[in-house]
Structure 1
């Protein structure tokens, strides 16, 4: 649905309304009503006719009052705040940020060394357990002789 605008009043013209006038120079003018057409024919300036859009714009009436000026833009400011992250406090975060690379390297090497020691200790523990099991398996088990059970007395059953 295409809306046209009136050549005189500036109002919107919906389909099926208004009148098209073609001037002798070939310009097409669309008028909303006979009132608009008559005002244009009498060569009245639409800026001087109080009910037209042009008049209302010129004299800053209604919604046209604030058309010329833009809304004030609100400047958004970013406030940088430091907050604790996860389990670390702000002081701990700052301390970690200010560490020297050499100190970090030493910490990393110490952690690697501790992890390797833990793995080595675990291996040794498993070896000790394996040795104990093999020694236990090698020792011959002394069998204790059991006394033979006395045979059960057979009782004759009558049939």
Structure 2
């Protein structure tokens, strides 16, 4: 049968069932003392770290070194070993580890070059499409305003400005963009 022991709040000694003094402070905090000596020192506000027979003093001054040394155990350190990862076998991983840094750098540069070329290609395609759109708008010539064209004079309003154009189309300006919309009303 295991006995439930508690610790003295002052000395740190074990208190067995049926022994000790229980003190309850006005803020409902419970203090358990081993004997009247511990209770008296606690109420006189003596520090347990200054009395040589308390557990706190012994711990601070490292008096129980022999017992603590027995408790310490060294954990066996696990040596790392290689395992294959999903998508790469052990041979591939070993090959990459032994690979020279020059080869790695060359592969990285080639990959970067390929990515840059792909980005440049997409930018060129976008520019070509944009040029076609501007040519088609210039050829139509109806209801379009050039980006660098003269803007209406007058007080600048915050946000949107409206300007009526010929043959019932309306353009509204937002920042530097000009967007055309045809009128639904006459």
- Greater RCO structure (CA 8 Å; 6+ sep): 1
Structure possessing the higher radius of gyration over alpha carbons: 1
Instruction: Tell me the TM-score range normalised by the shorter chain.
Output: 0.3 to 0.5
Task: Give the structure-1-normalised TM-score.
Answer: 0.42
Task: Give the structure-2-normalised TM-score.
Answer: 0.36
